[in-house]
Amino acid sequence: MISEASDVVDVDVHVCKSGFTTHVVCGTVTELNVESSFQLSNGCTFIRRGMIDTSMGGIGGDSGGPVFSYSLIKLPYVSVVGITITGDESKPEYLPLSVILRVTMID
């Protein structure tokens, strides 16, 4: 059950994700405020800023799933911290909830 939304502000924080393919997988935050880019099929480069790298593995089908942290005080509740953006096994990333809310202008 979701109890709140929060931001991850430090590395080595324990986080989990729920994905269609891998189900629930947990790991740690390895880097904050990451910029990543990839080449689209039309030759354009797509750049993502403000991402967070983790040690969680992922594969296709996990994108769009929630990233959360367990509350040690309020088990079984969790705090939502973002959504999975890439299921790349070599570099799993997620978009922080604060970036999502800022870009979509939702308070």
16-68 confidence digits (pLDDT tens): 999 888 889 999 999 999 887 778 889 888 788 888 989 887 777 888 899 99
Task: Report domain extents, the chain.
Answer: 2-104
Phi, psi of 32 (to 5 degrees): -105, 155
Look at 11 and 91; give whichever has higher pLDDT: 11
Phi, psi of 102 (to 5 degrees): -65, -45
CATH number of 2-104: 2.40.10.10
How far apart are the C-alpha atoms of 19 and 21, rounded to whole Å?
5
Single pTM value for the model: 0.82
Q: Which residue has the tokens 């994700």?
A: 17
